[in-house]
Amino acid sequence: MRVNKMLTLLFLAVIAVCSGLRAQTVDEIVSKHIDAMGGKDKLKGLQSMYTEGIMEVRGMEIPLKLWLVNDKAMRMEFEVMGSNNIQVVTRNGGWLQMPMQGPDPKVMDSSMVHAMQSRLDLAGELYDYKAKGRTVTLEGKETKDGMETYKLKVTNRDGSVIILYVDTNTYYIDQMQTHIKAQGQEMDITTVLSDYKKTDNGFVYPASTSQEPIGTKISVSKVEVNKPVDDTIFAMPKK
C-alpha cells in the first residue's frame, strides 16, 4: 500500500513539474516575442497607427489607407475603379460605404463587425494576454515554409480560437490561423506575415501579409505611429 501511495505521489509530482515547465515555456515564448516586436514599453505606448500600402487581389493593385486608434476604432479606405470605398469598425459597431453597392453608407453586418474587432488591438494577441482574458497554450513545434515555429493556441474570452506560429529564431509571428463567421458564411483563414520592419520609434511590424483562401496580399509602404487621429473620421455620415 505504501509503495502504491508513493508511486501515486511521484506521478502527481511529475505532472505538476511538467505543467509548470509547460507554462513557463509559454511565458518565455511570449516574452521573447514581445521583445522582438519592440518591447513592453513600446507596445504599451501604442495609441494609434496610420498605414498606407497596396492590396493585390485577382491581379489588381488597390491603394489602401488604414487609420487605427488602439482598442477604439479603425477606418479603412481603398480605391477600386476610381471609387473610394470605406469600412469603419468600432467597439460599438461598424458601417461601410461602397459606391458600387449604392451611394449611401450602410450599417455593417454584426458578424462582420465581430470578425474585424480583433484588429483593434494594436499590441497584438499575445501582449498582456492574461489581463485581456485570454489563455495561451503551447501545442508543440511545426515547420512552416521551411521555418521551425512554436505553435501557440490563443483562446479568447468569448471562446474563439486563434492559432499562432512563432518563429523559433526571430520570435516573429510567421502565420496565424483563424475561423471566421460573417454574413452567413464560415471560413478558415490563414494569414502569412513577413518582411518585418522597424519604425523610427522602435515598433516592429510585418510589411507584407497575405491571406488564403481569400487570395489577397498587402504590401505596406508607410507606417506612422502615435500621430493624432481625428475621431470624426469614424462617424457614419448622415444620409
Verify cis geometry, omega within 30 degrees of 0, for the bond prior to 99. no
Q: What integer pLDDT is reported at residue 233 of this predicted model?
A: 96
Q: What integer pLDDT is reported at residue 20 of this predicted model?
A: 41
pLDDT tens over the chain, length 239 residues: 454 555 554 444 444 444 443 444 899 999 999 999 999 999 999 999 999 999 998 888 999 999 999 999 999 999 888 888 999 999 999 999 988 788 889 999 888 888 888 889 999 999 999 999 999 999 999 998 888 999 999 999 888 899 999 999 999 999 999 887 766 677 888 999 999 999 988 999 999 999 888 888 999 999 999 999 999 999 998 86
Q: What integer pLDDT is reported at residue 201 of this predicted model?
A: 85
Q: What integer pLDDT is reported at residue 151 of this predicted model?
A: 94
Q: What integer pLDDT is reported at residue 99 of this predicted model?
A: 86
